Amino acid sequence: MKSIPRMMKVGFLQFGPILKQVEENIDKISKIISTTGNFDLLVIPELANSGYVFVNRSELAEVAEEIPNGYFVEKLTELAKEKDGYIVSGICEKKGETFFNSSVLVGPEGYIGKYRKIHLFDREELFFQPGDGEFRLFNVRGMNVGLLICWDWIFPEATRSLALQGMDILAHSTNLVLSYCQSAMITRSIENRIFTITSNRTGFEKNGEFELHFKGQSQITSPDAKRLAQAGTDTEELQLAEIDVEKARNKWLSDRNHIFEDRRPEKYNKLIGKK
């Protein structure tokens, strides 16, 4: 039988990316990471290489990169090697003429995998293709890690699809502009008995007539509904927490209630589009 990993050091890096300044953004990330010791898993916000408020597709073309052989992924991998840890980061991805709002997972051994955001938010639909992949897990030091990006949070089916595969911890890179998500992630943690890391960006971004204010308050939540760490609204910071992964493997809420085995999928036809 495979042994369950126990104590793991996991966290978020919260910062304000600068629009279309990829080198400055990786420098900021690198400076913040240099203030901490080793970690097992660190999550960085959505579109951390590029910023968010695009006005046209040619702006994306300036900053997007092919995965895995681009500048940003190469630099992230160097940081993962230095810290002997794994990093999930949002990234503006290019594939031919197409753009995806993606996140990558890199570790000391190099590039591991990616997730392309499936549920696009608002004006993202003008620039990005919705993700064409599956909800799938990645193994990080024995932990089962799932990747989602921002607006995916409002579809509980997305987190559930990962949780039913055995997810221990959700790496959730965000650029949140509404104030509901942080509370909802406590519920996502309870209903799936998982840990979550929401790594949000900060700052005000204006481009032409479009402007957004991002909400910070990155956080780590636990299966028993605790916030293990939470950042400020406007601060650039990195926080880590030690988690006992075994807690996410126990799906019993009482002697008689197993949150997955008690489900009644035969009653949920509408959920999967059946009559």
Report residue 202 as tokens: 């900060």
Instruction: Please report how close the Cβ of residue 153 comes to ligand ACM at its closest, in angstroms.
Output: 8
Contacts from 271-275 at CB under 8 Å and sequence distance 24+?
Answer: 271/157
In this structure, are strands 41-44 and 7-14 parallel, antiparallel, or unpaired?
parallel
Return the closest-CA partner of residue 238 out of 75, 63, 37, 73.
37
Q: How far is the CB of 252 from ligand ACM (least distance, A)?
A: 33
Shortest reach from residue 176's CB to ligand ACM, in Å: 6
Cβ pair 145, 88 in contact under 8 A: yes
Q: Which residues are catalytic?
A: 46, 117, 150
**Contact status: 54 vs ligand ACM (CB under 6 A):** no
Q: What is the nearest approach in angstroms of ligand ACM to the Cβ of residue 240?
A: 24
Nearer to ligand ACM, 110 or 130 (CB): 130
Site track for ligand ACM across 153-192, x = CB under 6 A: ----------------------xxx---------------
Out of 151, 169, 172, 218, point to the residue binding ligand ACM (CB under 6 A): 151
The Cα–Cα gap between 229 and 152 comes to: 22
Q: Which amino acid is at 39?
A: F
Number of residues in contact with ligand ACM, rule: CB under 6 A? 7
- Nearer to ligand ACM among residue 34 and residue 233 (C-beta): 233
Between 121 and 195, whose beta carbon lies closer to ligand ACM? 121
- Residue 148 in the binding site for ligand ACM (CB under 6 A): no
> Order of strands across the sheet with 143-149?
137-140, 143-149, 169-173, 195-199, 219-221, 227-230
Segment 15-44, which members bind ligand ACM (CB under 6 A)? Answer: none
Q: Which residue's CB is nearer to ligand ACM, number 15 or number 121?
A: 121
Q: What are the distances in angstroms from CA 253 to CA 5, 14, 108, 244, 250?
A: 21, 33, 37, 17, 8
Specify which residues 43 forms β-bridges with.
Answer: 12, 88
CB of 46: closest distance to ligand ACM in angstroms?
A: 6
By CB under 6 A, name the one of 148, 150, 171, 243 that touches ligand ACM. Answer: 150
Residues 104-133: x where in contact with ligand ACM by CB under 6 A, - otherwise, as a string: -----------------x------------
Tokens in use for 204? 């005000």
Cα separations (Å) of 251 from 170, 211, 242, 258, 263?
Answer: 16, 43, 20, 5, 12
Task: List contacts with ligand ACM (CB under 6 A).
Answer: 46, 121, 150-151, 175-177
